[in-house]
Amino acid sequence: MEESWVDGLDDTKVTLALIAGLLGLLYWYSISAFSQLQKMGIRHPKPTPFIGNVLLFQKGFWEGSSQILKKFGPISGYYLGRRPMVLLSDPEAVKQVLQKDFFNFTNRMKMNLATKPMSDSLLCLRDEHWKRVRSVLTPSFSAARMKEMCPLINQGCDVLLSNLQKYAVSGEPCNVQRCYACFTMDIVASVAFGTKVDSQKDPDHPLVQNSKKFLELFTPFKPVFLLTLAFPSIMIPIARRLPNKNRDQINSFFGKAIKEMIALRDQQPPDKRRRDFLQLMLDARTSAANISVEHFDIVNQADVAAHVRDEPRKKTTKTLNEEEILGQAFIFLIAGYETTSSLLSFTTYLLATHPECQEKLLREVDKFAENHDGADYNTVHDLPYMDMVISESLRMYPPAFRWAPLCCILYLFGTGL
């Protein structure tokens, strides 16, 4: 009888053929996502199978993005794992996305591993949930509300000045970045968590310790971060289930602290409550002053009041629950801590290296002190040169240089489609 071709193959050959087939499939999977940018005519560095261009960002997003833009032009791209990303540094293109076509880009890139309370913060919320929380929160950032918080911020400034005074008197060098980090931490503790601390003198304070541990959770480019980017559908469910004692302890510390603080505030008579961000959010539980999406840019209380007056009064159900309040308190840690301390450090560096600007600024501040009792949210506008110095420092060393919105539809550049 004629021998079939299968009979001619031994087991080893079949196994080898299967392995080769599987390897081929795996290789196809590892590169299958990497044609999307090319199809859109967007130039990009050659991606590595599975992980895309992640290795370019080992020193952070600034270095990697700058290299790509330099080599591939102001509209270029890269792959974050299998995900295509478009880099825009052309002012006209940026304007088009941020203004004209903004409605296509309202959500940020998903932070897949974010857990509560961070996932409840405005920075992680999406769509209608984001709109609701943002509309409750916007009045808390109005000029009048910010002015109420000024005395607390000034208290933090006094602590910073007294800590710096020691170095000014002794002439010893000081790590100014560390001083600003402590200052910013004190302000976050004070306005967002209702707790007064001097983290330079009391670095072991539980709130300071837990805040630092929380911020360390976001050190990027840990191997698990890399793996999560490369294999999101496998790694995210696993990472979510893996026990993370450190993270759970931090979350339970903040959860308990904020619950106790809310209970305490609710027992206090209104005039005895601290006027901090936490209290503004608690007040928002019963306030009717919600701001609609079209007016999110309003920061002046007079405008807010006028706007609220003009709109037909709707019965409001928009308030924040305890978990959402904790989530928003975390904004100060996530969005306010590192950004503000970096800005202050770089501004100090620039002033130290440009003594003529330092002299000019000093003259303006001295003149300001002659005419005002102290700085607050309104009087600070009488420091135009200070404004220029801060703006220039933000331009030269932007602490938040990258904005990663997610495109919600297939967006064809230049067409608005």
Enumerate binding residues for ligand HEM (CB under 6 A). 108, 122-123, 134, 331-332, 335-336, 339-340, 343, 399-400, 403
Cα separation, 287 vs 136, in Å, equals 9
Of the pair 49, 405, the CB lying nearest ligand HEM is at: 405
Nearer to ligand HEM, 49 or 336 (CB): 336
Q: Residue for token digits 């005419």? A: 371
The CB-of-141 to ligand HEM minimum distance in angstroms stands at 7
Residue 130: its H or E element = helix 127-137
In this complex, which beta carbon is closest to ligand HEM, that of residue 235 or of residue 344? Answer: 344
Residue 343 or 375 with smaller CB distance to ligand HEM:
343
- Residue 370, Cβ neighbours under 10 Å: how many? 6
At 91, list the tokens: 């002012």
Measured from the CB atom, the residue of 50 and 332 that comes closer to ligand HEM is 332
The upper half-sphere exposure of residue 401, i.e. CA atoms within 13 Å in the direction of its Cβ, equals 18
CA–CA gap between residue 176 and residue 180 (Å, rounded): 6
The DSSP H or E segment spanning 77 is: strand 75-80
- At closest approach, how far in Å is the CB of 65 from ligand HEM? 14
DSSP-derived letter for residue 85 is: E
Round to whole Å and give the CA distance between 352 and 47: 42
Burial 51-79 (b: 16+ CB within 10 A, else e): bbbbebbeeeeeebbeebbeebeebbbbb
Nearer to ligand HEM, 108 or 372 (CB): 108
What is the Cα–Cα distance from 290 to 300, expressed in whole angstroms?
14
User: Rounded to whole angstroms, how far apart are CA atoms 262 and 339?
Assistant: 27
Nearest to ligand HEM of 47, 65 (CB atom): 65
**Cα separations in angstroms, 253 against 61, 103, 163, 198, 210:** 31, 38, 28, 19, 8
Question: Closer CB to ligand HEM, residue 33 or residue 299?
Answer: 299
Residue whose beta carbon is closest to ligand HEM: 336
Residue number with CB closer to ligand HEM (331 or 389): 331
Nearest-approach distance from CB 132 to ligand HEM, in angstroms = 12
Tell me whether residue 232 or residue 399 sits nearer to ligand HEM (CB atom).
Answer: 399
Q: Nearest distance from residue 198's CB to ligand HEM, in Å?
A: 20
CB of 28 to ligand HEM, least distance (A): 34
Q: Which residues contact 384 (CB under 8 A, 6 or more apart)?
A: 364
Contact, 52 vs 80, CB < 8 A? yes
- Distance in Å, CB of 134 to ligand HEM, minimum: 5
Query: Tokens 């309104």 appear where?
Result: 378
Taking the complex as a whole, the smallest distance from the CB of residue 137 to ligand HEM amounts, in Å, to: 7
* Distance separating alpha carbons of residues 327 and 30, to the nearest angstrom: 37
Question: For residue 260, which of 184, 196, 210, 195 has the smallest C-alpha distance?
Answer: 195
Q: How far is the CB of 337 from ligand HEM (least distance, A)?
A: 8
Nearest distance from C-beta of residue 143 to ligand HEM, angstroms: 15
The answer to whether residues 324 and 140 touch, using CB atoms and an 8 Å cutoff, is no
